[in-house]
Structure 1
Amino acid sequence: MDWTNPYPSSRSAVLGRNMVSTSHPLAAQAGLRMLLSGGNAVDAALAAAQTLTVVEPTGCGIGSDAFAIVWDGQQLHGLNASGRAPRAWTPERFQGREQMPDKGWESVTVPGAVSAWAELSNRFGALSMEQVAAPAIHYAREGFAVSPIIARLWELGRLRLGDQPGFAQAFLPEGRAPAAGQWYRNQDQADTLERIAATQGRDFYTGELAKRIAAFSQAHGGALTEQDLAEHRANWCGTISRPFAHSVLHEIPPNGQGLAALMALGILEHAGIGREPLDHADTVHLSIEAMKLAFADLYEHHADLEHMRHPPEHLLDDAYLRERAALIRRDQAGDPGHGLPGPSGTVYVTAADASGMMVSLIQSNYMGFGSGVVVPGTGISLQNRGHGFSLRPDHVNLVAGGKRPSHTIIPAFAMNADGTPQMSFGVMGGPFQSQGHVQMALRVLLYGQNPQAAADAPRWRVTGGRGVAVEPDFDPVVIQSLRERGHDIQVESGSGVFAFGGAQLILRQGEHYVGGSDPRKDGQVAAF
C-alpha cells in the first residue's frame, strides 16, 4: 500500500481493529459506542445510520430508502430495501409532464430504510434495536449543534422545499433554517425512533405510524396508502460482481446503479487501463470515456430488475464490454450512444469489527431533504425517489404501480481474489456515485493508494455529451490535455460537497483495518 498522500489534506488514514467511517462525527461516534458496548459491525452501522437521520437530515431521514452489503465473516449478503411506487401510480397519472415530479407527494414512493434497519438487526445484530437507536434518540430529543456544511445544505432545502406539507413545522424553527452552530432538537423524531425500535420497525408499515403517513398522503392528494406500506418488503438480493485488478468488486443488482461502475471498470480493463501513472491525462481520459459508455447503456437499459429486457450478466459480458471499449479513442473525447448487448442524490456508513464482520450501508432521501414532505408530529421526512422513473412510453423504467424506480444509491464491497474480504466503501452523491466507485476502485484496488489519499484526491464528473466537471485542485496540465482531446472541461469551484460526493472507505489489512473519510463533508473515521 502507498502510504503517501500527494493531495492537500489535513487528514491521515486511521488504523484500528474496530472501525466506523461516515459523513458526520456524531454518527461515527454513535457507531463506535455500539462496538465498545459489545455490539458488532452491523450494530455500529445501524446506530450511525439512524443518527444520520437526525444530525444530517439534509441527506437522509426516517422516510429514506436503503441498500446494504454485509460480510458476516463467512459469506457476502446484499439487501435491497428500496420501496415501490404506490399501486395507484400509472403513466396516465403523470400525463402532460416531461419528467416525474421531484418534490411533494407525487414524488414519494414507499420508504424502505426502516425495513433495512429491522432486517439487518434481526439477522445479524448482537444488540437490541432499542440499544442501537439510543444515540439517535438522544440527539433528536436533547439536540445537537448544526455544522457549517449542514447549515448551508439546510438553507438550500428551505429555499426549494419550504412550502411543502409539514416541512416548515419540522425543519424551520422560528421560520428559518438553523444557522451554523445553532442547537436543533426534533422531539417528534425522537418519539418516532423510539416507536420504531420498540416494534422492530413494524409500526412504520402496519401500525399507528403507517396510518398517519397514509392519512397525510390522502389529505394532500397523494397516492400512498396503508396497503402500499403494508405490502413493502426488503429483500435479500445478493450481489452482482466483476473481477477488477486483483480484486472482485461487488454491487447491489438493479434497481441500484452499481451496474454502471462494474461496466465502466470492465471497459477500462479492455481499454488497457494501468499503463500510465494514476493521475496521468491518459488514465483520466480513459476513465471518463469508459464512464460515458457505461452511462449511455445505463440510462437506456436500467430499471427494476423484474422489468429489465437485458439482464445485468448480458451488460457485463466480456465480449460486449470489449466491443464497447473498442469505441474509445485515446486522442479524442467521444459522445457515445447506448449499445445493445447480446444474449449472453445521500449518506453512507461503513463499519468493521475485530471478528471480521464488515458492513457497507447507504441510505438516502435522493435530493437533499427529498420530497420536502414531513408527516406532522412524527419527524418522518419522505424521499422523492419517484423522480427516478421515466415517462418515456417505451422505456424499461417507465413509471408503474408496485414497481421500483431506477436508483442512484449504491453500496460497494471489494473481495480479494482468494475470496477474503478486502474493502467496504461508498461515495454518496446522487448520480455521481457510480463515478465515485470507479475512481475509488482505480485508486485503491488498481494503483494501491491508501483510503484517505483516495478520498482526498481531486475528482472528475461526466455531465453529458463531452462535458466534464473537475474540482479546482485538478492538475492544470491534465486539464489542458483533456481539452485538447475535445473534452468540454468546467472547473467547479466550491461545489465538492454537492457535486463530487463524499467517500468513506474501510480497507482490511491483515488483522486490522485502514479507514478514510472524505474532507468534502464533516465525516470521521472512529476506531479502536
Structure 2
Amino acid sequence: MQNTRYARSGMVCSVDHLASSAGITMLDRGGSAADAAIAANAVLAVTAPHMCGLGGDLFALVHDGQVAALNASGRAGSGADAARLRAEGHTRMPHLHDIRSVPVPGCADGWTALHGRYGRLPLADVLAPAIRLAEGGFPASPLMLAGAGAAAQRPGGGDFAAAGAAGDLVTRPGVARALKAIAATGRDGFYLGEFGQGLLETGAGEYLEADLARVNADWVEPLRVRAFGHDVWSAPPNSQGYLLLLALGIADGLDLPVDPGRSAWAHLLTEAARVAGHDRLAVLHEDAKDLLGEHEIARRRALVNPSARVKLAAPAADGDTTYLCAVDEQGMGVSLIQSNAAGFGSMVFEPRTGINLHNRGIGFSLTPGHPAEYAPGRRPPHTLTPAVITRPDGSLRSVVGTMGGDAQPQILLQVITRLLRYGQAPGEAVSAPRWKLGGATGFDTWDAPDESVVEMEEGTRWHDGLEALGHPVAHRPYGAGFGHAHLIDVRQDGTLAGAADPRSLIGAAIGR
C-alpha cells in the first residue's frame, strides 16, 4: 500500500523522484505550480523517454481561481496523405517505424504557453535541472530497460546503448542542446532550430517549415460534469477526457455497493466505462461537440444492467505516457499529462538531437470522409485525459491523472470514485488493485467493444462475480500495465495529501 504524503506549502507528484525533486526546487525558489510542473516534465523528457519527451504532446489543466485547459497536441504535417496510405494497403495508421504517424510534437509549445501565462521564474531556471541531468547523466530506471535495447538499435537512438541495467548512467547531449535552445529563445529555438531542421529532413516532405512555425498550443474551454457532489473537469476533444466525465456522470446515478471490493462495484463501473466509450471511434475528433448533455448521460446510464453485461454494437466505421501534478503555496494546481503514445513512441528518432518522436498519429482514421481522417493540419483523437476536481464553491479539491492509453478514463473512474464516493485517502485510492478493458496494443479497446476482456490486477476479488454477469475476464500482474496514477488532494484546512503510484517503482510525492 502506498502511503499518503502530507504537506502544507506545496507538493509535486510524478513517476520519477528526480522529476518531483526538480518541481519542489522550483516551489522552494518562489515558483508557481506551473513552474514546478514544467520543471518536472522537463526532467522526465530526459529521464523517461519510454513515456514522454520533447518529441511528444501535452495537455494540462490549471486551477488558479478557475479552471483553464491547455491543448498542446500537434497537427499532421502538410504532406499528410490518407489516400497514399490506403493505396499502400494500410487500413489504419502505421503503429511504428513510420514518420507519417508523427504529428508535429506539441510539448515545447505547451511548456512555453503554460510558462507564459502562469510562470513566475525565468524559463532558463525552470529547465536547468533537466539540462544538468541530460549533460551530466542520470541513472536508468527499471522501467526504461524494457525498450532501451530496441531503441538503441534504431538510427539516432544511441543514447540508450548505455542502459543495460537499472542504475546505469545515461547521458542525452542532444536533448540538453534542445532544452538550452528553448531556454534561450523559446519555442522557435526548438521548432526552427536544430530539432526542427532534423525533423524536416527526416520527414522528407511530411512537414514544411510553416508547419513548424505554427504554434501547437491553444487555451481551450474545459469540459465539466457534476459527480459525487463535486465538479470534475477534463480537456475537451481531441482529448478523450469526455469519456472520464461521461462515465462518472453515469456512475453517479448508479446504486454502487458500499464495498468497492465487491464484484458488483467492478461490474457497474466497467459497464459505465463501456457504455460511455463503445462509440468513441465514431464520435471523437477535434471538432466534436455536445458529448456530455444531461439527456445523453441519462440515455447511456439506462443501458447499464446491474444483473448482466450489456451487448453493445460496434460503431460503423500498452501505451506509455506520463502524468504529473503540482500544487503551490498560493493554491494553484496543475494537472499535466505528456506522452509519446506507445513506449518510445514511433521508434523514429530525430537524428540531430536523438529525440524520440511520438506516434500520436495512430489516432487518425484512414476511413475516407471520417472527421478524424489523416489530413494536413489536423489533430488526431488523443487518449490523454488530465483531470481537476473542484468543490461546489469552485475551490480546488484535487489534481489527478494517469498514463494508460485507452484505459486512462477507466483508471481515473476508479480512483476518483474511491476518493469522492468512498472517502479513501490518496494513497489507498491510487494503490488499490484495478480493472481495465483489454486490447492488443492499448489503443484498440474500442475496435470491438463487445470483445474486450476485463483485465484484473492481482489482489482483486471480482473474478467469479464478473464471470457470472457475462464478462470475459483475465488476471494480470500488479504493475505498470494498469497505469501510473498520481493524485494531490487539498483538504478543507489547506493541507495537501498526495500519493504517487507504487506501480511506477521510482515515483514520488514530495511536499514542502
| TM-score, length basis structure 1 | 0.90
Checking the alignment, whether the CA contact within 8 Å between 1:41 and 1:357 is kept in structure 2 is yes
SS of corresponding position for 2:203: helix
SS of corresponding position for 1:346: strand
Amino acid in structure 1 at the alignment position of 2:336: L
1:393 aligns with 2:384: no
Checking the alignment, whether the CA contact within 8 Å between 2:4 and 2:425 is kept in structure 1 is no
1:421 aligns with 2:396: yes
Checking the alignment, whether the CA contact within 8 Å between 1:274 and 1:446 is kept in structure 2 is no
What residue number does 1:33 align with?
25
What residue number does 1:143 align with?
137
Distance apart, 1:39 and its partner CA: 1.0
Alpha-carbon displacement from aligned partner over 1:81-135 (angstroms, at most 9, x marks no partner): 0001112212212112021011231211010000011011111111011100011
What residue number does 1:70 align with?
62
Amino acid in structure 1 at the alignment position of 2:107: A
Amino acid in structure 2 at the alignment position of 1:468: V
Q: Distance in 1 between matches of 2:217 and 2:111?
A: 10
1:479 aligns with 2:463: yes
Checking the alignment, whether the CA contact within 8 Å between 1:389 and 1:399 is kept in structure 2 is yes
Checking the alignment, whether the CA contact within 8 Å between 1:324 and 1:339 is kept in structure 2 is no
**Cα distance, 1:346–1:440 mapped onto 2, change above 3 Å:** same
What residue number does 1:193 align with?
179
Amino acid in structure 2 at the alignment position of 1:332: A
**Cα distance, 1:164–1:391 mapped onto 2, change above 3 Å:** farther
Amino acid in structure 2 at the alignment position of 1:171: F
What residue number does 1:282 align with?
264
Distance apart, 1:209 and its partner CA: 3.2
SS of corresponding position for 1:61: coil
Checking the alignment, whether the CA contact within 8 Å between 1:63 and 1:380 is kept in structure 2 is yes
What residue number does 1:346 align with?
321
5+ residue gaps, structure 1:
1-8
What residue number does 2:215 align with?
232
Higher mean C-alpha displacement, 418-427 vs 459-468 = 459-468
Q: Distance in 2 between matches of 1:187 and 1:231?
A: 26
What residue number does 2:47 align with?
55
Checking the alignment, whether the CA contact within 8 Å between 2:498 and 2:509 is kept in structure 1 is yes
What residue number does 1:4 align with?
none
1:94 aligns with 2:94: no
Checking the alignment, whether the CA contact within 8 Å between 1:13 and 1:450 is kept in structure 2 is no
What residue number does 2:159 align with?
170
Q: Distance in 2 between matches of 1:189 and 1:132?
A: 15
Higher mean C-alpha displacement, 322-331 vs 207-216 = 207-216
Checking the alignment, whether the CA contact within 8 Å between 1:192 and 1:379 is kept in structure 2 is no
Q: Distance in 2 between matches of 1:63 and 1:493?
A: 30
What residue number does 2:407 align with?
432
What residue number does 1:295 align with?
277
Checking the alignment, whether the CA contact within 8 Å between 2:2 and 2:499 is kept in structure 1 is no
**Cα distance, 1:164–1:154 mapped onto 2, change above 3 Å:** closer
* Selected match of 1:202 from 183, 188, 194: 188
What residue number does 2:306 align with?
330
1:493 aligns with 2:477: yes
Checking the alignment, whether the CA contact within 8 Å between 2:2 and 2:427 is kept in structure 1 is no
Q: Distance in 2 between matches of 1:320 and 1:70?
A: 27
What residue number does 1:125 align with?
119
1:268 aligns with 2:254: no
What residue number does 1:115 align with?
109
**Cα distance, 1:58–1:489 mapped onto 2, change above 3 Å:** same
Alpha-carbon displacement from aligned partner over 1:39-70 (angstroms, at most 9, x marks no partner): 11111100000000111111011111001101
Q: Distance in 2 between matches of 1:137 and 1:379?
A: 15
Q: Mapping of 1:376-387 within 5 angstroms?
A: 376-387=351-362
Q: Distance in 2 between matches of 1:196 and 1:353?
A: 24
Checking the alignment, whether the CA contact within 8 Å between 2:19 and 2:43 is kept in structure 1 is yes
**Cα distance, 1:273–1:232 mapped onto 2, change above 3 Å:** farther
Q: Distance in 2 between matches of 1:253 and 1:203?
A: 29
Checking the alignment, whether the CA contact within 8 Å between 1:165 and 1:372 is kept in structure 2 is no
Amino acid in structure 2 at the alignment position of 1:206: L
Q: CA RMSD in A?
A: 1.7
| TM-score, length basis structure 2 | 0.93
* Selected match of 1:304 from 272, 286, 289: 286
Alpha-carbon displacement from aligned partner over 1:202-238 (angstroms, at most 9, x marks no partner): 22223343223212322xxx51222211123310002
Distance apart, 1:170 and its partner CA: 3.2
1:321 aligns with 2:297: yes
Q: Distance in 2 between matches of 1:267 and 1:488?
A: 22
Of all paired residues, the percent bearing the same amino acid is 37
SS of corresponding position for 1:110: coil
Q: Distance in 2 between matches of 1:226 and 1:170?
A: 27
Distance apart, 1:258 and its partner CA: 0.5
Number of residues of Structure 1 aligned to a counterpart in Structure 2: 493
* Selected match of 2:169 from 142, 161, 183: 183
**Cα distance, 1:435–1:251 mapped onto 2, change above 3 Å:** same
Checking the alignment, whether the CA contact within 8 Å between 2:194 and 2:352 is kept in structure 1 is no
Distance apart, 1:387 and its partner CA: 0.9
Q: Distance in 1 between matches of 2:184 and 2:154?
A: 30
Q: Distance in 2 between matches of 1:396 and 1:296?
A: 17
Checking the alignment, whether the CA contact within 8 Å between 1:371 and 1:384 is kept in structure 2 is yes
